[in-house]
Structure 1
Amino acid sequence: MTITDPTADRRRFEEAFRAVGLNVTVKVIPVAPAEVGNLIGPAVPEGFDWHGSIGTQAVTPCASAFCGKVWMPSDFPGRVVFGVGRPAEPGEAYADPLLYAPGDESLEGYEVHGKTVEAVRSEVHRRGLKVGYRLLWDLPEGGFFDQPVSADRVEDDWIVNGSRDHSSDTVDLYVIPGSGTAPDPREVATPKWYDDQPG
């Protein structure tokens, strides 16, 4: 597969997979400048419980936006979703292809890990950017999940674990909640790029 035009009609990609009996959806999704033209995924929304594996491998050298191999079992009955990165509009949220990794850093020349929300927010504003907040909650069985919250749910002295670019003008801070706090069940999880939704 060679992608020369990230804005090409995604249905052409889907038809190629359908021709060999696979249920594949391709979405053209907004990404950061460095990801434009890249193939994102695959994602298997219902989970992959089948023989073999699904994946992609970039091929170099590449004179196009993306050159690579895609593989999956030829008899896989589930739905597979790929994304093709397109330039995000100014202020448009980037599709987030990867799970947050503790300690991710997005502010060049400034490490946020271990600093207070107040300190990091000041630096983000100094750079002329807006701030978004995601609280990191531990799961009973191990691991964690992050939950987007409004600024009034975050205390100035809570500690920032990391940061990620949310859009061209906003940085998300991943924050460790203070003791005695709990997730708000009213907060709705952010839809993932591969979820069924317009686009």
Structure 2
Amino acid sequence: MTNDLHRIVSAIAPDPGPGLVPGARELMNAIMDTEPAAAPAPVRRRRLSWRIALPAAPVIVATVTVLGWTTGLPGFGPRPVAALDIKQEDGYYVVQVKDVYADPENYEAQLRAVGLDVSLRVIPATPGLVGRILATDGQEVVDQIKTIDRPGPCDKVGGCPIGLKIPVGYAGSAYISLGREARPGESFQSGTSISALGEPLHCVPHLNKTVAEVRALLKERGIAIRGFYVADPRRGSGGEETSSVPDSWYVQGGYLDMPGKATIFAFSAPMPADHVENVRKAEGCPNL
């Protein structure tokens, strides 16, 4: 029996069409695997992928701020700002994202103008990962590219960033993907457990609740169940995708796959109580 039903795989391509996300079978198989969570494999340059981060061991290593638009002159509406704001301070370039919908080429042009071989892509992410980025070119990038977190309380996985710091004269290359809010109907490309910090069911008792009970909890938060993945937690692998299960079945977890839509893991029998306790501790919650 697995000790950690919430360990999520790090690469699943989302399906923008109807139905469940392709690869959910691999997702549940990995969740039910008894091996400890491994660090996700680096994503090569120019590759985007679904990434689900375990709250107890975040894989995100760098973050930037999403600021959007500035106010224009009266009567003329908002005016667009530069895609990035880059300032030089104390031997670092401090980078903030101003336009999350700009073409990647615009980001790269500004970064290369100050001598940085850094590629930046902004992708839709679940609420707990909005504003965070993943540096994907190895340990050198992790060691040299730093982040700045805002002071005070934080309700996001791995920190609440206000900027990204890159050394002046940095001679390496880096590919960085940044999480942003998804538009309505847009599938998430970066995500985490539905109960992770910053996600809709964080510290909300839902594991081993019935599907009917969890459906009501999600509805209160404006979320509908898009589909289910059914697997016996006593088995090491296997399962199936389905659009419905009995309301009396028990919830084992889940994730958001687009704004207002969730996929739920469910089975006809509840999970062991010690597993629920392990999840509670991993997510820093007093009770689940």
* TM-score category (smaller protein): 0.5 to 0.7
Equivalent residue, structure 2, for 1:112: 206
Q: Which one of 132, 151, 172 corresponds to residue 243 of structure 2?
A: 151
Which letter maps to 1:172?
T
Tell me by how many angstroms 1:119 deviates. Answer: 2.5
Aligned to 2:122: 28
SS at match of 1:54: helix
**Per the alignment, in what secondary structure is the counterpart of residue 59 of structure 1?**
strand
Summarize the Cα distance change of 1:109–1:67 in structure 2 as closer, same or farther, 3 Å threshold.
closer
Question: Which residue is 2:259 aligned to?
Answer: 168
Superposed displacement of residue 41, structure 1: 0.9
- Aligned with 1:4 (options 98, 109, 116): 98
Structure 1 pair 129/149, CA: closer, same or farther in 2 (3 Å)? Answer: same
1:54 maps to a residue whose letter is V
Q: Does 1:131 align with 2:131?
A: no
Is the contact between residue 136 and residue 175 of structure 2 (CA under 8 Å) also seen in structure 1? yes
Please show how residues 1-199 of structure 1 align to structure 2 within 5 Å.
1-15=95-109, 16=111, 25-32=119-126, 36=130, 38-43=131-136, 48=138, 52=140, 54=142, 57-60=146-149, 66-69=162-165, 81-98=175-192, 100=193, 104=196, 106-107=200-201, 110-125=204-219, 128-132=222-226, 133-134=228-229, 149-152=241-244, 154-173=245-264, 175-177=265-267
Aligned length: 158
Note the aligned Cα RMSD (angstroms). 4.5
**Alpha-carbon distance in structure 2 between the residues aligned to 1:110 and 1:54:** 33
Q: Distance between the aligned counterparts of 1:137 and 1:19, measured in 2?
A: 54
* Cα distance between partner residues in 2 of 1:74 and 1:109: 43
Shift of 1:131: 0.4
* Alpha-carbon spacing, 1:148–1:42, altered in 2? closer, same or farther (3 Å): farther
Aligned partners of 2:104 and 2:121 also within 8 Å: yes
Deviations 1:31-69 (A, max 9, x none): 356755x2421246xxx5xx645365321459xx84112
- Letter of the aligned partner of 1:150 in structure 2? T
Q: Which amino acid aligns with 2:253?
A: G
For residues 68-123 of structure 1, what are the alpha-carbon distances to aligned partners after superposition, in whole Å with 9 as ceiling and x for unaligned?
Answer: 1258x9567xxx6422334322232233244x48x546237842122122321244
Summarize the Cα distance change of 1:178–1:91 in structure 2 as closer, same or farther, 3 Å threshold.
Answer: same
* Distance change in 2, residues 1:150/1:26 (3 Å): farther
Query: For structure 2, which runs of at least 5 residues remain unmatched after alignment?
Result: 1-94, 152-160, 270-288
> What TM-score comes out, normalization by structure 1 length?
0.52
Assess, with a 3 A threshold, how the Cα gap between structure 1 residues 66 and 8 changes in structure 2: closer, same or farther. Answer: farther
Bigger radius of gyration: 2
Of Structure 1 and Structure 2, the greater strand share is in 1
Alpha-carbon distance in 1 for matches of 2:121, 2:148? 21
Q: What is the CA–CA distance in structure 2 between the aligned matches of 1:52 and 1:28, rounded to whole Å?
A: 22
| Between structures 1 and 2, the one with greater helix share | 2
